[in-house]
Amino acid sequence: MPPLKLPQLPFLTREMLKFGHKANLELRVVVQSTVTQTIELNGITREGTFSYRIKAVGDGTQDFFRFKLSDFPIWMNMIDWSTVINPGECYVSVEMWINRQLVRQFMAGYVYQFKDLSYPQSHIEHMRAGPGRIEAVNGVDPAAGGPVTQNVPNGEVWKLMGANVTLVTDGNAADRVMQLEISSGNFNLVFSSATNHVANTTRLYTFAAVGSDLAVSADDDIIVPIPSNLILPETFNIRMDTVDDQVGDDLDTPVFFIERWLMNP
């Protein structure tokens, strides 16, 4: 009586392929992350378990890792091994390569502290709708008389929800007008304050999605309306400057309130 052959479907194994005995099986992991943290890929094949630990570069660029397998994976799970990654910071793709050819993408998505990737796919939802990372980003403090300028980094998309900056004017008489400008190539989008800024005064400007330009309040704040859905791809420039500015006028360090997504750089 021939030996009993155990059923193998729905899981693929080497011996099910005519060329399986000489096939070079690899997993390729593509990681794009804005944080330098560690993720871990765990899984099983018919031969046993495997585990690979990966350190993300953290500069927003894509990094590639290859791991040899003894057989086709049955289950896999990608986790935030460091347990500190936030939503929107680390995007991972896990692929199957045979003889240096891509044959399948097993799983792809954001990995963070409470969100793994699994194959076969499990029912895992994000902690909130949309995987973008919400954060306040400090810009660069410009030199006196200079504008604020901030580029959206390569490999990122920003939703600009608000921004603020303080302007201190010198003693030269002039009616300054604060502006926020979004630009890319020949495209320019400008939002201007309706309140003039005179000499020897300090004002905090807040750009936000409000219904109208609000007058100076008791604490010298000026609020300038901007659209509620400003989506800025990589390399778009955000600039804050004043019309009729004077040499001694000084803008301090700006703060941008954004939602950040990763994209292919």
Q: Which amino acid type is present at position 174?
A: A
Per-residue pLDDT tens over the stretch 173-199: 999 999 999 999 999 999 999 888 999
**Does pTM top 0.85 for this prediction?**
no
DSSP E strand stretches across 69-226: 75-79, 90-98, 101-110, 117-119, 133-138, 148-151, 156-168, 177-184, 187-192, 202-208, 221-225
Per-residue pLDDT tens over the stretch 21-71: 788 999 999 999 999 999 999 999 988 999 999 999 898 889 999 999 999
| 3-state per-residue secondary structure call for 14-67 | HHHCCCHHHCCEEEEEEEEECCCCEEEEEEEECCEEEEEEEECCCCCCEEEEEE
How many distinct helices (H) and strands (E) make up the chain?
0, 19
Per-residue pLDDT tens over the stretch 104-146: 999 999 999 888 999 998 766 665 556 688 899 999 999 888 8
Domains and CATH numbers, the chain: 14-119 (2.60.60), 133-262 (2.60.120)
Reading the block at residue 206, the tokens are: 């807040």
